[in-house]
Copies of this chain bind each other. A is one copy, B any other.
């Protein structure tokens, strides 16, 4: 579980809830037709905007927002460095026996292509294409949520205009406009709430997650190219650690010290 997303949702919605309940009965803010128009209009506009298959796959992607994914740099880089040493000692073909220990399918694929004897340009071509189009698909997921984050307040405003027109059409006494105007405002409330506390933050988190994954993939790509080029494992470690923050690098110091002793 990604505890942050959960905390964020709890903090945001509890405070909105408390602030609603402090000022009067919560039922004032529950209006089914208003909820229906905002949700329906947003979903409708989204379905016109994106193919069904993409919208459905978004439901799966959303799961990522709540699932914790530790940054495996402190495992990934040593792993690649180990393989680079293996390559110099026993040749790239020796990878074959160890591929089953690797979990990441992208890395398995990269090493597999090396073992299969594909030349380095072809490997780089395949992996770069895969990274580029994976990023493209990630971006589509984030885009769907940020598009919902623009449609929701617009549909909310539409609902408020509908409510205002209906209120104005039958208005006789200016002092009686209170309740119907409050109801008219509810669609704007739902639209703004959904956009700013749900759709846009989720879109943002998907972007951050995608960026992290892209860095991992870049590290793998750089690693496999360096191994194929026969780079010294020390240089490979330097190259890969350049992708991560100085703080994250320190996690390797102990590891590296131990390595040096064993070498």
Interface residue ranges, A against B (CB under 8 Å):
2-5, 7-16, 18-20, 22-24, 28-29, 33-34, 36-37, 40-41, 43-52, 54-55, 65, 105, 113, 118, 122, 125-127, 129-130, 133-134, 136-137, 140, 147, 151, 154-155, 157-159, 161-166, 168-175, 177-179, 181-182, 185-186, 188-189, 192-193, 195-198, 200-202, 204-205, 208, 211, 215, 222, 231, 235, 238-239, 242-246
Contact = CB atoms under 8 A, between A and B. Distances in A.
Contact of A178 (B49, B171, B192, B208): B171
Identify whether the interface residues of A are mostly helix, strand, loop, or mixed: helix
A136 B135 CA distance: 16
A185 B159 CA distance: 12
A46 B8 contact: yes
14 contacts: A8-B49, A16-B37, A19-B33, A29-B165, A48-B197, A54-B208, A136-B211, A154-B195, A161-B188, A161-B192, A162-B189, A166-B182, A171-B175, A172-B175
Given A8-B46, A11-B40, A243-B129, A165 B136 contact: no
Contact of A105 (B4, B129, B246): B246
A196 B154 contact: yes
Contacts of A65: 48
A20 to B, nearest CB: 6
A168 B179 contact: yes
Nearest to A246: B105
A168 B182 contact: yes
Given A173-B175, A178-B171, A48 B196 contact: no
